[in-house]
Structure 1
């Protein structure tokens, strides 16, 4: 294994905190990874990693060497890409919400991969927060206002939000005509992955945003489950309009208080700021930006 490959392995080890995970990412036996790092430490004359039975962490020298490796490897990849007529190649790891992926990304994916035959994609999906560096993810696509100063944000657009409830729920509780008429109503509580608290409902009233916390017999941390519970009549929910297009068309759900919509939610792609933007990530971000620019959000 040459020096650049050793650097790549070391960078992946620092990010994954595991010899097993880093070796698997690079298609190496764990024993080979251990041997390479021992040789690297011997050649440099410093201890780069602290090892425990569960994970590894970089020493102070290791953190400094990691930052230098990231910069060097980014420059190498950029130089090699320039010599190959800027054809992206290799594995790109991204993370996005499942419904957003199915609705907007997957329909366009065959064309994108056909245009870039040397590029591979690994798509993670979920509502949870993702540690990009620790988990080896190149970028995430997220709705909401990012608060991670360690990330570079690329705005993709804004998503229209609506309030909905099932016909059975409205038949039992009545259809409110204004936010002030929500006494006696309920919502399905959605637990924020950032704070662990239930999010209030939002309504635009006279140019200002008003938050209202309704009682919730059921609280969940998954948006698909939240939508299922709304269909079952457990209360009102708020989510992007595209999530409920089929439900609204079929009558399974009804839009509530359309004249008092929640504030639109920003949609962004995030990637670590301590890395140079690779060619494959730059091409992916340009492509995903065009998708959402053309989409009806």
Structure 2
């Protein structure tokens, strides 16, 4: 028996909850997974898992072995990484989750550069702004907008995006232009953005000088996808706060107009998050560094655009 392989398989069975999902994430036949766990139990002379027709349950000995196993595997991965030659290219599959707007408008257009730098990394991008089971779905990391609240995740800030306030000509014809952020609570409507984690529509924040105002927007429609959010604003369903990289085309076409320009919007922080139990591998590290550089370039480009407009 390859004890190290059996240990990795056992850990994955515990984390995914059954043999079938573990086999799928490990790209192994289910019979191989079953045989390795059985061999490990025979070697240890104890039962690690109780199997039923519907689920797998960890025994007391299995729980103790799992806790030590993940520590050993994490330390081993870290040791391998530290001993690898600095010239060795990171390689392998990298599974990343991110919202569709980030994927379509930020990451995908720049991916040729990432591939030129790291041709041995196979990038699998899951698109959506949903809650993710990082372990069961074998997700390495996720790009998320807003400050993370899940204490089980490690978060690294990779940048922030300046937000602006927009309305469509259709909306302006129907409701006029707001003069003050407070108008969004009385007489005007916003497009609501539904926070998937909190299950409620997010508030919006404006500042001017030392004055800061938090608005609970009135809305007739709320959505949980950034692209749909902008499209709802274009359709005249309300005023929206969004990043320039998402609205540039609509502004150029005359479908959106910037409003409340004398008020600053709260910037949207961007974080890479990953589970505490997962070692930050070299392939994740280089992706995070590349993404941070990409966002920095985006910020520089926007600043140049503002200077051109001001002059």
TM-score normalised by structure 1 residue count: 0.90
- Note if contact 1:41-1:48 (Cα within 8 Å) is conserved in structure 2: yes
Greater shift in the superposed pair: 68-77 or 89-98: 68-77
Taking the aligned partners of 2:262 and 2:107, their CA distance within structure 1 comes to: 31
The corresponding residue for 2:67 is 67
Distance in 2 between the 1:266 and 1:57 partners? 39
Change (3 A) 1:291 1:39: same
Separation in structure 2 between the aligned mates of residue 113 and residue 217 of structure 1, nearest angstrom? 43
- Shift of residue 16, structure 1, vs aligned partner: 2.1
Equivalent-residue separation in structure 2 for 1:176 and 1:287 (angstroms): 39
Shift of 1:187: 1.7
Deviates more, 1:66-75 or 1:182-191: 66-75
Structure 2 vs 1, CA of residues 54 and 169 (structure 1 numbering), >3 Å: closer, same or farther? farther
| SS class of match (1:191) | strand
Q: Measured at CA, do residues 46 and 163 of structure 1 come closer, stay the same or move farther in structure 2, by a change above 3 Å?
A: farther
> Match of 1:258, SS?
coil
Q: 1:206 to 1:289 in 2, by over 3 A?
A: closer
- What whole-Å deviation, never above 9, does each CA across 1:224-273 have from its counterpart, x for those lacking one? 22222111111112222321111112211111212223211111111222
Question: For structure 1, which segment, 62-71 or 260-269, has the greater mean C-alpha deviation from structure 2 after superposition?
Answer: 62-71
**Closer, same or farther in 2 for the Cα pair 1:18/1:243, shift >3 Å?**
farther
> Residue 307 of structure 2 aligns with which residue?
none
Residues 86-125 of structure 1 aligned to structure 2 (within 5 Å)? 86-125=88-127
> Which ranges in structure 1 are unaligned for 5 or more consecutive residues?
none
TM-score norm. by structure 2 comes to 0.86
Compared with structure 1, are the counterparts of its residues 237 and 31 closer, same or farther at alpha carbon in structure 2 (3 Å cutoff)? same
The answer for the alignment partner of 1:145 in structure 2 is 147
Q: Deviations over 1:50-70 (max 9, x none)?
A: 445444354443333333333
Q: Classify 1:86/1:261 alpha carbon distance in 2 versus 1 (closer, same or farther; 3 Å).
A: same
Q: 2:277 aligns with which of 274, 283, 291?
A: 274
Decide whether the 8 Å contact of 1:165 with 1:230 is kept in 2: yes
Instruction: Check the 8 A contact 1:165/1:237 in 2, yes or no.
Output: yes
Provide closer, same or farther for how the CA distance between residues 60 and 286 of structure 1 changes in structure 2, counting only shifts above 3 A: farther
> Retained in 1: the 8 A contact 2:143–2:273?
yes
- Per-residue deviation at 1:38? 2.1
Structure 2 CA distance for partners of 1:268 and 1:255, relative to 1, 3 Å: same
Aligned mates of 1:60, 1:258 — CA distance in 2: 61
Q: 1:258 aligns with which of 261, 276, 289?
A: 261
- 1:148-195 superposed Cα distances (whole Å, 9 cap, x missing partner): 222222111111112212111111100012123342111222211111
Structure 2 matches for 1:1-297, cutoff 5 A? 2-81=2-81, 82-83=83-84, 85-182=87-184, 183-296=186-299
Structure 2 CA distance for aligned equivalents of residues 70 and 113 of structure 1? 31
Pair 94,64 (structure 1): closer, same or farther in 2 beyond 3 Å: farther
- Using the TM superposition, give the Cα deviation of residue 278 of structure 1 relative to its aligned residue in structure 2, in angstroms: 1.6
Question: What is the alpha-carbon root mean square deviation over aligned residues?
Answer: 2.3
Do 2:77 and 2:279's aligned partners in 1 also have CA atoms closer than 8 Å? no
Higher mean displacement: 191-200 or 110-119: 110-119
8 Å CA contact 2:170–2:236 kept in 1: the answer is yes
| Corresponding pairs, count | 297
Change (3 A) 1:79 1:214: closer
Show structure 2 runs of 5+ residues with no match. 303-311
- Provide the rounded CA distance (Å) in 2 between the counterparts of 1:123 and 1:103: 14
SS of the equivalent of 1:28 reads coil
